[in-house]
Structure 1
Amino acid sequence: MKESHFNFSSRQIASAFITIIIILVGTSSLSLYQTHRVSKELNRVVTVSDVQIEIVNKFLKLAHERSLTLQSMLLTRDPFELDDHQMRASAAASNYLRLRDVLLKMELSTDERALIREQDKQTINTGIKQSRVIRLAVDGQFDLARGLLYDEAIPSQAKAMGFMQQFIDLKQAKKRATIRETKQIIDRTTDTILVLVLLGVIISIAIAYIVTTRLKHEINFRNQFESELEQRVEERTEALTFIASHDTLTALPNRAVFTEQLANSVKHADRNGQLMALFFMDLDGFKAINDLHGHDIGDKVLIEVCRRFKETLREEDVVARIGGDEFTVIINELEQKGDALSVAQKLITQINTPMRFDAIECRVGISIGISFFPNNVLSPDALLTEADDAMYAAKRSGKNRYSVATSIV
């Protein structure tokens, strides 16, 4: 297995995440900047609009004060008061002209400038009529002045004030429209930012899911790799242990394992007062088969002999190969010695059966030496020596038979 089977590398995921974050931050920053710019522009427009409305309201106030001044002139006959009212009317006109100049220097739309022009024309016309009212009042012609004031000057001024009111209504409407448009822009920007935030959260969750999934895959991959490695090590260890403790040809335990097992069996039998038997076996006629047919056939004979051993013996009995054609068997927990002798005879019968390998038929016999524990020897080595001696006694007696050690108590 290789890590290349994963769809995304850590570097690609990190690069994608950083790119998305940069895009989201950049877009959000741009949206916030636009909101700030629009809000700032709204404040400027509203401020300018309020100033202009305030100026026009002053126009209205000055016009109203001028009309009151003219009416006051018609109610007095004192020349000093007439002079004072005339000066007030003149001051109102001067203030109007000053405010008008300020207004015209400000930012105005085409419609607004058109209204101011119309208002100027009407104000000039009204000013002419008001000036005639003042001259008539100063000359003492109060009835004519009163008629001119109420019939012409005040209606003319009302018309001029109407243009001023239209200007204020226009400014208010534009201010409301600007506020409405700005609110729409801010709402759209807010929605955009919310969408971007939501998108960022979704993408972050998706990336987190991908990273988590990939991490799980990597952990599973590593765990599987480590598990396979441990299994291989365990299998290799078991194989090496098996090779070190078993015969490579027959897979039977070797001399080292047999020696250890024999010592354990003697201790167990001695501790529990049980009977055990040890067979020392040597094949009869095996050397002739090797010489006649070669070692390949000889190896096949040994393998078949071992198979017949396992087929005849119990699963708990221990059979081992300790030499070329020498074998041992440990039989534990016997009820009586006759049971071991029956097993020995079965082995002889099984081994005597001819073996065929393709067109080659082979026959071998087996000589078995038997020793039992307990007897008059205590050590496992002595028990093995007795069984070895008994095996040679069987060979001297004609081979292909079993012989029991003569030193048994």
Structure 2
Amino acid sequence: MGRSLMPLNPGWIELIYGCVKSGKSRALIDKINSIKNAIDEEKFEKEFLVVKHPLDDKETQGKISSFDGKNIDAIECETAKDLVEHVTKHTKFIFLSGVHLFDRDIVPLLKALVDINVIIVTTGINLTAKGEPYNYMPQIMTITDVYDIRAGECFTSGCGENAYRSIKVNDHFEPRCMKCYYKTEKTPDLVVVTGPMFSQKTLELIAKTKEKERKLELNPVKNEDGFMNKDISAIFKWSEDKRYDLEKIVSHDGNSINAIPIESNSQVINYLKINKQVGFVGFDEIQFFKDPYPLIKELLERGYPIYITCLKEDFRGEGFGDVPKILTLANIIISKEAYCTRCQKQPATKTQRFIIKNGIKTPANYNDPVILVGGKESYTSVCRSCHWVPEKSENKYDNILKLKQIN
């Protein structure tokens, strides 16, 4: 039985994230103040909820504070259960400081809030001082719609470059740039291009690679032996992705570049050991690769600039493989949108898989295999409201929030 069309869904999640002392709280405070100054106080108190986790700057209780001295009043909530108690049927906006400190239930709660059209702007630290994903940030970054990464200033003496990592020094934390953090000769960067199918992600990688190749042709650089260009590109693809060409990555509109098909991480490492002139590494559809997270970490530690395209969610709307963890490593995330082929009114951020039954397109079941390489014959792009997966478990916060909408 089909699902009736739901109302258009204007809810979304904006994540302001980055290392310590990167101005995340200041950015959130500025957003809140700009809205407070534009509407009357009664409307703000009724429709807007300003919340912080109590461990997010413990020195200032009941306030969101920035390291440069700005602050604003906030309700303190330690768990998702605490937060939902403050949501009413009038709540339209939630400003949330310190999302990285919440329990695992914050993820389904944020999903449920967006489904009832609440707009959420939140701050969080994506990585610990050891360079690992912070708590449930991989899952939070997977359901984020708008990414706003903030750079600090590297505290390394004489550096001052943009910082995207944090380290612990004695009893406090300091920001570090990518080069100082990884202690590499060159500056490692990670750009992740994500979005649903048919949102031109591969085209971004193709354009970036061709741009670098043109620059090398115009400004050839010799290596120590004086023969070969440094910084040539190596683009890798999953060997089982044979939709258009085994040794090329091809966009849905026919653009292509050469690529190296691989089956394992060791093939990438071995290729780069042999081809030392490679200075730019790209991966197309990295969600298909086996255990790519440790590979990306190792390449960053070796100083490579990396460019990745991926689906962050599978057809079920769940995090796709290692992609959620890879998102926490990125210092640039480009979020692409397609066109919703169902309602034809909203941008598409989801991938819908379908099967053909008796000549009719039917959404694939939640329990169907996650990986099925295909194109328009098996997939389409849809908005959040039109995305439907039969047999998917109900979000436990859906009914709680629906009751709040009634009462």
What is the TM-score normalised by the length of structure 1? 0.16
Question: Which structure is higher in strand share?
Answer: 2
What is the TM-score normalised by the length of structure 2? 0.16
